[in-house]
Structure 1
Amino acid sequence: MAHVPGIRKYVARWAAEEFRPATLVNSLFSGVLIYMLEIIFVISFTALVFSGPMANQLPRALSFILLGNAILLGVLTLLSSYAGTIGVAQDTPGAILGLAATAIVTALPAQALEQQFATVVMMIVVTTLMTAVLFLVLGIFKLGGLARFLPYPVMGGFLAGTGWLLAKGGIGIMSGKNFGTELLEPQTLYHWVPGLFLGLLILGSVAYFRWSLILPVLLFVSTLIFYLVTFVIKISPAQLESEGWLVGSIPAGSMSGYPLGPDMVAQVNWDVLWGQIPNLVPAAVICVIALLLNCGGLELVTKKDINLDRELVAAGAGNLLAGLVGGLVGYHAISLSNLNHNLSGGKRLVGVFTALLLFVTILLGAPLLGYIPKLVLGSVLVYLGAGLLIEWVYKAWFNFPRIDFAIIITILAVIMFSGFLNGIILGLVFAIILFVVSYSRLNNVKYALPGGAIRSRVTRSWEEQQLLDSQNERFFLFKLQGFIFFGTANNISNQVRKLVQSKPAGTIRFILLDFTLVSGLDSTGLLSFSRILQWGEKQKIGLGLTGVTKSLRDQFIRGGMHEQPNHLLFFPTLDQGAEWCENQIIAETLTPASANPDLITELKGIVGQGKEVEKLLTHMECKEYVAGEYLIRQDDTPNSIYFIESGKVTARWAGQDQNEVRLETMGGGNLVGELGFYLGIRRTADVIVNEPSVIYSFSRQKLADVERVDPESANLFHQIVATRLGERVVHLLGIVENFER
């Protein structure tokens, strides 16, 4: 409990700052203003759901939807990483729920009003809870970034479609009619045309003046003008309500029927509700994207860092509680949060005050809310919808490539004329196509190099080195990367064929495909590699797959690619694959004798003095070693240097994780341990004998004796070591270059 004093200090500092008289008054004023906008937004989005035949149920539904919004706002205010966050029920899920509600009402008998209402309310509960769970899972497991994989034009098509549904819904709320020729009737036009112009006026004013209070001022002024006009032409509030100009009062008391109460649940038609699930699931996914977009926009306008995963958890918790009382899906409102930022500097107390005012509204029945003109509610929806259409249609024409713009328009058109679900399906199809097309353009071949540029860590004799240099294009390496599927695998196959065909026939003997940087391979991609193997057999080219993990190797074998000597081989590392290719080239060209020179022949090639070399060797101790025996152990004192007469040894280094790495393999004619011997530093690696070997050793004490009694042999020794060190530096530089590729 050591952290409790720290929490107390934080709360004390927060309370001292938030509850100063000047701050308190400012927060209260800001809360009242945001409360008024929250009321208008929530009623507008609720009216989207409860419209048409369900319009008379709007006041009844508002009671628990307002309660859900108050809970959402309170939780989000307290849990958000940004103190000034304001949450509200949102337009995007509201537009989709409006379509689903219409489908539910159509599917049920016209006289089954209670069943219609209960099923629509349960649809709201299911959607909000489903979205809450999705928010929580993504936030807790830090998976919010997954939503960003949706292609931008597809997301733009969804948002443009949402804009159309909002604008269409706003007109429907104001007119009380379905979207069609009925809207052109004279007695209907004057219900919705003024609201349409008001919505466009709000949109233009918000964009032009960029004043944070322009929206509430315009809504307040338009409400005053509405009642001033009705007063002048002497229309009473009762007549306005009967003619469909007003919302209608919310029932007094607390909530008008608990959505999850037994009476309400008993009225739900579950078969009809489950039939709408395909429409509701995409709504939850789109809410995730919209939340992340809003949080990103909020970071820009407030210049504050916002933890996206924490915001998902906060929104998830808020929606979980709100859903249990029938609240609509909600999350961060960038406009209201920015208003709070401008008015109060982003105080958390503003959100608390706003939530409390919403609770008071529900408890007192809010009779004044029934006098809000539908013209104002509809204009808000027209403003929001037109804003999305301008952003994702008009501006997209200038900002997006034509193919992306075509996708946006196509999805919008499908949503307009065929429904949101079909738009979602088309959007997913476009997303898959865009992924395949975009990913197939990526080059999975990081680079292709001839064998001369990727020597193995085997130190070759002088004659072998000359041979490999002269035949450096006998094998090629293709370094692969990323995830490989059928499209990109085919590109790899084409690049291999193009390279082979660009060389004279028979030049390339082996191809190495390195999978070290490959993250995965799908089953369809295996077919392209099988074709490479079959084509290589016809060209008499061997195929080596390097950097292949056990799981990847099993995948190749299940695909019918089994190891075949000289045709297909698997290697755990690229180094082993390169060594195999080098060995094959050497075996095909050199005789066994020339490929395995003795020590005297090799040293003669360095200094050109055969008798002197033989004389030098008489000063050394010769010993036979068996396979597996240690010649040098890591951290040993460097007392001797070794000359390999015959056989083979390998230097291996073990790191802190105890994983061994092969540094170098050396055969006859090579020196071992010269760096430690000359520098006097402890051995940095183990040197293990690979096969029966004959090795000469030369100790420090023996060298001192030779320098005293036979200086010519001592000088020859130093000349041999200096030459070998130079060759080793060149060899190691090649290794470093390979590591950097």
Structure 2
Amino acid sequence: MNLIAELRADLLSTKRLSALSVGLVVGIIGSAYLISVGALVFSGPLAPFLSQGTIMVVFGGFAVCLVIALTSGYRGALSMVAVPSAMVLVAIAATIGEQDTALAHFMTAATVVIAGSVATGICFLLVGHFRLAKLIQFIPYSVAGGFIAGTGVMLCTAALSLMGATLETLPTLLEPASLWRWAPGVVYGLGLFLVTKRWKSHFILPASLLLVAGLYHLVFAVIGLSGDEARAAGLLFAGTATGGLWPPFELRDLAHVDWAEVAAQVPNVLTLIVVTLIAVAMHLSGLELATNVELDWNREFRAAGGASAIAGLGAGSVGSLLFTFSILSHRFGADTRLTGVVTAMVVGSVVLLGDSILNLVPLPLIAGSLFFLGLDLLDEWIMKSRKRSPWAEYAILLLIAVTIVSFGFLEGVGVGMVITMVFFAVRLSRVGLIEASFTAREHHSKRSRPIPDRAILRTEGERIQGFRLRGYMFFGSVGPLIDRLRQSWSGDRRRDYILLDFGGVSGFDFSSISGLCRFVHAARSAGVQVVFCALAKELRNGLARNLPAPVYDDLRFEPDADHALEHCEDEVLAAWRSDRSKEDGWGNALLERVAGDMERHLDRQVLFEAMVDELHDWLEPRDYDAGDAIVLIGEQQNGLQLLVRGQASAYDAKGTRLFQCGPGDAIEPRSAFGAYAAETAMVADQPCRTMLLSPPARLWLEEHEEQLILKLYRYLFTV
């Protein structure tokens, strides 16, 4: 009901005239195009059934255009068989093996065409249903732009060819007989292009169509030129199909199908599916780019799939939305479903009546409309795109357009995709994988360490070099990364540990594994231990398969950068104590360096212990074993806990360690001032004891022991 209401509203809107004119023009052009495709597909040995084969293609165009017009997310969608799909149909018909009779040959070819339509429809319906369109949706701007620009050139060339202006007829183009065939169409197309650049009115196209068609027939009447003579001179459309040919065959004719030959055409049917899928993607991408309208590709694939399946079940050929025609709806403000319905009715009239209705249309009018559309696309994507695109993107766009004109759509898109991927790989390789580098002097683990250890790490932290990596590792980026990592131990700088944080790495290829293996061998030769953290399971398995067992066993793997850094710090501290234990007086030298920090730490501990002693009567002891949760995220705190023995670590919701607490620290200090839900989890790293100040005890202290509770609050703020 909503669809009927929408069509009724379109009929009553100001867009109805534009929809009727654009639908009429595209219907006439599309019918001629479909008849031409039918003539190409059903030629050679299939020529005796040219009319029946042509009606199959025309019916397919009618069904596809009508169904997509009613179901597409773009209301001005106009659809036919795409040029690449048409070329595959030509190839299928040409590869059908020789049959005993002409009827068997036709029925076998017709069956393959129908099977291809239904199979393509089913595949597209599955793509839309399972929302797989996103896998093919992201087409580079330069490829889509080159596709549109190439389409513009092809439209201009096809328009000139339709009027007899080709390279072969170039010497005779200025002769009066030839001039009257192509000049009016070129003038009409160029004039329409210039007028629509100056004025944006929906009435320009229908008015020009009626005016030019009327002038042609008026001139024919004045000079006494009959319709047959005008068609013979190439001034009126001349068709070949006749009416009353649908359905193109009867059910009993299926007995003549060579099913073995149909089965042998499965590879060609698969080719038809893939080629049509690529064509749909290119036309949708081009339409989005040209109209600045975001489409739901899954819906469009469902619409195309249902249309092709219905066309196939009605003995028609495959089809899909065409950017070439649909842009006219946008260009003339006819973005309404009525446009597609009118187009389908014009094409459907050819199915029922033959193409005799088209014989009244001046051929230069059809060609001129195509010429206008081609000029409009070239202006937008060759001239204007030069100013808004980087030179590399614009060069790719031009190359694709030239390739499409010289070799075909598939070749042009293929060349564009290859060049774009090469450019992308080169540019991506220039984006460094190293997000940040640091040493243990600049960045410490979250573990709480004694003051002497912190002093040692400030001195010896340069021995630990860490790298935080990001992005995608592939053959183009892993080489520069390995060169940068090797520089870590070059020159006078001493590096005993290289920490590689893979937490920001999104993916990798086999070249990355190979490059990392070379780096591990180089580091081992230099006496440097490599520590990996947040490494993907697949990447770790790749290292295990490609490294010798002794080399792999020397590697260290940690779940995150914090634990990896903690391990390296432990190793540096152990090595430092081992080396210094052989020296006399090393302890006194270290004590001199940390005397100030030790004194401040001892003063803090004395203050804490004295405060705990004063609060002893109001504190409740709590004991926790290693691994016990002292606090859980979101847990309502029932008082303030002061850590008097052991160590505990705070973790966020993802399990990342945030910091470590030791004696003298408060667990969730904000709970001292009222009800509070914990935002972090606190887990005991070793057996711990806390002293709990409950809310009732805190309130009693605030009322009766103001100085003592103020002392506690002052301590919490200063710590």
TM normalised by structure 2 equals 0.76
In the alignment, is the contact (CA less than 8 A) between 1:43 and 1:62 conserved in 2? Answer: no
- The residue correspondences of 1:99-498 to structure 2 (distance < 5 A) are 101=90, 132-133=121-122, 135-175=124-164, 180-181=167-168, 184=171, 189-190=178-179, 193-194=182-183, 195-242=185-232, 245-248=236-239, 250-253=241-244, 255=246, 257-258=248-249, 262=253, 266=257, 281-295=274-288, 297-298=290-291, 307-324=296-313, 325-327=315-317, 329-331=319-321, 333-338=325-330, 341=333, 348=337, 351-352=340-341, 355=344, 359=348, 362-365=351-354, 367-498=356-487
> Does 2:76 align with 1:85?
yes
- Deviation per CA, 1:208-251: give whole Å up to 9, x if none: 44333333443444433443444444443233445665322642
Relative to structure 1, is the Cα distance of residues 106 and 607 closer, same or farther in structure 2, using a 3 angstrom cutoff? closer
Question: Residue 647 of structure 2: SS of its match in structure 1?
Answer: strand
Question: Residue 512 of structure 1: SS of its match in structure 2?
Answer: strand
- Deviation per CA, 1:385-433: give whole Å up to 9, x if none: 4444444444444444443344344444444444555444433432331
Deviation of 1:315 after TM superposition, in Å, equals 3.4
- Distance in 2, matches of 1:369 and 1:326, equals 21
- Distance in 1, matches of 2:512 and 2:21, equals 60
Letter in 2 for 1:46: L
Matched residue count: 680
- Deviation per CA, 1:164-195: give whole Å up to 9, x if none: 444443444443x9x65356457984585334
In the alignment, is the contact (CA less than 8 A) between 1:652 and 1:660 conserved in 2? Answer: no
Letter in 2 for 1:536: A
Of 544, 548, 555, 1:568 maps to 555
Relative to structure 1, is the Cα distance of residues 396 and 311 closer, same or farther in structure 2, using a 3 angstrom cutoff? same
- Distance in 2, matches of 1:117 and 1:166, equals 31
Deviation of 1:382 after TM superposition, in Å, equals 3.5
Who is 1:3 aligned against?
A: none
Who is 1:505 aligned against?
A: 493
Moved more, 306-315 or 257-266: 257-266
Who is 2:538 aligned against?
A: 551
Who is 2:517 aligned against?
A: 530
In the alignment, is the contact (CA less than 8 A) between 2:621 and 2:692 conserved in 1? Answer: no
- Distance in 2, matches of 1:173 and 1:206, equals 23
In the alignment, is the contact (CA less than 8 A) between 1:248 and 1:369 conserved in 2? Answer: yes
Who is 1:673 aligned against?
A: 667
In the alignment, is the contact (CA less than 8 A) between 1:136 and 1:312 conserved in 2? Answer: yes
Alignment RMSD: 5.1
- Deviation per CA, 1:96-144: give whole Å up to 9, x if none: 62586389669999xx998997788778656755664564344333344
> Does 2:534 align with 1:539?
no
Who is 1:33 aligned against?
A: 21
Relative to structure 1, is the Cα distance of residues 606 and 558 closer, same or farther in structure 2, using a 3 angstrom cutoff? same
- Distance in 2, matches of 1:486 and 1:235, equals 70
Relative to structure 1, is the Cα distance of residues 395 and 103 closer, same or farther in structure 2, using a 3 angstrom cutoff? farther
Question: Residue 515 of structure 1: SS of its match in structure 2?
Answer: strand
Letter in 2 for 1:505: R
- Distance in 2, matches of 1:310 and 1:359, equals 25
Deviation of 1:42 after TM superposition, in Å, equals 0.9
Relative to structure 1, is the Cα distance of residues 297 and 65 closer, same or farther in structure 2, using a 3 angstrom cutoff? same
In the alignment, is the contact (CA less than 8 A) between 2:451 and 2:598 conserved in 1? Answer: no
Who is 1:650 aligned against?
A: 648
Who is 2:83 aligned against?
A: 94
Question: Residue 449 of structure 1: SS of its match in structure 2?
Answer: strand
In the alignment, is the contact (CA less than 8 A) between 1:192 and 1:375 conserved in 2? Answer: yes
Deviation of 1:491 after TM superposition, in Å, equals 2.3
Relative to structure 1, is the Cα distance of residues 107 and 622 closer, same or farther in structure 2, using a 3 angstrom cutoff? closer
Letter in 1 for 2:203: L
Who is 1:76 aligned against?
A: 68
Who is 2:704 aligned against?
A: none
- Deviation per CA, 1:666-707: give whole Å up to 9, x if none: 56x56463737844667946655545x5x6665659xx9xx9
- Deviation per CA, 1:513-535: give whole Å up to 9, x if none: 11112111111111222232223
Relative to structure 1, is the Cα distance of residues 174 and 311 closer, same or farther in structure 2, using a 3 angstrom cutoff? same
- Distance in 1, matches of 2:246 and 2:675, equals 83
Letter in 2 for 1:141: F
Relative to structure 1, is the Cα distance of residues 142 and 166 closer, same or farther in structure 2, using a 3 angstrom cutoff? same
Deviation of 1:363 after TM superposition, in Å, equals 3.3
Letter in 2 for 1:169: A
- Distance in 1, matches of 2:223 and 2:258, equals 44
- Distance in 1, matches of 2:34 and 2:400, equals 25
- Distance in 2, matches of 1:577 and 1:136, equals 49
Deviation of 1:478 after TM superposition, in Å, equals 1.7
- Distance in 2, matches of 1:191 and 1:142, equals 52
Indicate the percent of aligned positions where both proteins have the same amino acid. Answer: 21
In the alignment, is the contact (CA less than 8 A) between 1:651 and 1:664 conserved in 2? Answer: yes
Deviation of 1:580 after TM superposition, in Å, equals 0.9
